[in-house]
Chains A and B, each alone.
Chain A
Amino acid sequence: METAAAVSETSAGLVENTVNDLDKQIQTLMNCEIISEAEVKSLCAKAKEILIQEGNVQVIDSPVTVGGQLPYTNYLFLGDFVDRGHYSVETFLLLLALKVRYPDRMMLIRGNHESRQITQVYGFYDECVRKYGSPTVWKCCTDVFDCLSLSAVIAGKVFCVHGGLSPSIQTLDEIRAIERKQEVPHDGAMCDLLWSDPEDAMGWGMSPRGAGYLFGSDVVKMFCENNGVDLICRAHQLVMEGYKWHFNETVLTVWSAPNYCYRCGNVAAILELDEDINKEFSIFEAAPQENRGAPAKKPLPDYFL
């Protein structure tokens, strides 16, 4: 069983990251409670050290749970860890703590929401300021976003990316050549990988999202042939049944947020791949309502005071 290397830092603001500390932080975050700003700084620093060593196309062996049980199986998360929900901070920090605790078992790739610009629109920035009183934690986390890998290949056969394909990319080597340690650009290969969607028309189309492209089954066929993969596994789009096959089972969308926006009534899915990359889906619904009792009413002071 892997153990995280002990980190003793003497610089101001960082704390020791022993296994015990990590396990305590993991427990705290699992309970939907925040860890201290000092702990966040230390955790982010350690996570960055691990993440920057990973390539743009992470190599993962099966068995994998996409979206088992740590530490006996590998886990891959396809991005969009933050924004829109009540607990983005706890969610992302939990994933980081698990990454630092089990670095060879946990894989995280970047989604289009792992971005400074996007998180200032869709809530993560506001949540950080509300829970910590300043943007410091947001800054730490967005610096970590820049280090996240862009994609993964499982057992040489399943290519995993958050959004989809890019007209600028024909081969995995071209992905490897991308300089990824930056804010998600507005266009170009790195942007497309995180923003594109499959669509029924052939070839490439303008994306209605305003970033990335729409791509057809012919594009997928060529990409798979060029790169010796059988399947493109991605997320990025809401799916009623939790998962959806496209293009004769060459593209798979996996969506792991049940009852999106408390209205969509969808289930969520996790893909499990065994040693021989046989596929099984775990489906789950929204957690039952916890009767925490109504919170205090706090109108946003910038607008309502």
Chain B
Amino acid sequence: MEPPTIAPRPSWAPDDGPAAKWIKGPMDLAAWKRSLAHRDYLDFLHRVNDAVAGKKTSQWVPQSPGVQKVMSMLEVIKGYTDKHPPEAEMQQRYGNKAYRKWYAELTENAKELINDVLEEVENDGAAAMLEPYLLDSFGNQTRIDYGSGHEAAFIILLLCFEKIGLFTPEDLPAVGLMIFGEYLRACRHLQRLYKMEPAGSHGVYSLDDYQFVPFLWGSSQLIGSNFDPNNYPQPEKVQDHDMESLFLEAITYINDTKTGPFYEHSNQLWNISAVPNWDKINSGLFKMYEAEVLLKFPVVQHFLFCKYFQLTPVPDEN
């Protein structure tokens, strides 16, 4: 039985306000799919993907002051956990409620943190606009959970920083390897410290309970390497190589935090290890990401849009 017809909403239009949600129902997915934001997001993912191809996480890459500022910001955010250690277990449902205090600290400082990052760049007061992305990058305050939507929020933030002019084209490898690598380590620290729940995990159909993009960009890093994909389900084969790729670092984290045989707890990754080379894994993961993350309402309903990430339709070719 169809719900009563409601008058259609006015089309989304960019303004100077803070980034906000707009996708209300599955009927909005079509608008998202043909938007500038969707195009720009995939374009950004691909450009960073290409920039990190064949590069080890541990190798030196150029870092402009813009990159260094974001790295400092991540360090500060991670450091807030020192002020908010986990509280004694009594009466907690699952996640530790000290996370909410950590999150309050982030909320208090978010605008200032972004202003510091954008200090040297003309930004028209972008901090207020971008603050919601930063606040959505590290999980949900109420549910004390983290998932691929939060990861996407951080990547959108980076995309916006690039639009504003914070990064040079030479910075893309650093964006993927250094910034994103540090971001992941900060998230893992939070996940373990505060016992964060997987948010909307697809369970055995997930690549991973928390992340997707380290496997995406990480597989690009391994293109041309000697590391046989068939081996990554075996922890002892990954151990010595995990600083070569975000992919392997993510596998180590899985091995450290999940129980039982790999084929059972990470069945999709188990299956993918049979793909003959990293190129095919990389292109396959892009298809999977587009279908399983970017086109699924439970994830994208939380996406935020602003002047730098617009729901406006991509103009027709003609």
Contacts and interface: CB of A to CB of B under 8 A. Distances in A.
A137 interface: no
A83 interface: yes
B201 A84 contact: yes
B94 A266 contact: yes
> Which of A186, A263, A300 has most B Cβ within 10 Å?
A263
A304 B261 contact: no
Contact of A122 (B143, B203, B274): B203
Interface string A201-232: 00000001110001000000000000000000
A123 B200 CA distance: 12
A208 B142 contact: yes
Contact of A199 (B92, B142, B263, B301): B142
A209 B94 CA distance: 17
Contact of B143 (A123, A208, A261, A266): A208
Interface stretch (B38-46, B67-75, B168-176, B284-292): B284-292
Contacts of B8: none
B241 interface: no
Interface stretch (B119-127, B243-251, B264-272, B306-314): B264-272
A294 interface: yes
B34 interface: no
B260 interface: yes
B7 interface: no
B271 A300 contact: yes
A303 B205 contact: no
Interface string B132-173: 000000001111000000000000000000000000000000
Interface stretch (A45-53, A56-64, A238-246): A238-246
Contacts of B291: 302-303
A303 B288 contact: yes
Interface residues of B, number: 47
A298 B287 contact: no
B267 to A, nearest CB: 7
B258 A262 contact: yes
Contacts of B287: 302-303
A237 B271 contact: no
Given A86-B267, A297-B273, A259 B259 contact: yes
A13 interface: no
A261 B288 contact: no
Interface in A278-305: 286, 289, 294-295, 297-300, 302-304
B273 to A, nearest CB: 6
B298 interface: yes
Given A289-B260, A299-B284, A304-B281, A185 B3 contact: yes
B98 to A, nearest CB: 15
Contacts of B259: 259, 262-263, 265, 286
B93 A239 contact: yes
Nearest to B290: A303
A297 B274 contact: yes
Interface string A100-139: 0000000000000000011001110010000000000000
A283 to B, nearest CB: 16
A206 to B, nearest CB: 9
A297 B271 contact: yes
B198 interface: yes
A233 to B, nearest CB: 15
Contact of A263 (B1, B265, B285, B302): B265
Interface string B41-77: 0000000000000000000000000000000000000
23 contacts: A84-B201, A86-B264, A121-B298, A186-B25, A199-B142, A208-B140, A210-B298, A237-B93, A239-B94, A240-B92, A240-B94, A261-B201, A262-B264, A263-B209, A263-B258, A264-B197, A266-B94, A289-B260, A289-B261, A297-B273, A299-B272, A300-B288, A303-B287
Given A182-B1, A299-B275, A304-B275, 4 more contacts: A84-B204, A239-B93, A262-B260, A289-B264
Interface of B: 1, 3, 25-26, 92-94, 140-143, 197-198, 201-205, 209, 257-261, 263-265, 267-268, 270-275, 280-281, 284-285, 287-288, 291, 296-298, 301-302
Interface of A: 83-86, 117-118, 121-123, 126, 179, 182, 185-186, 199, 208-210, 214, 237-240, 244, 253, 259-266, 286, 289, 294-295, 297-300, 302-304
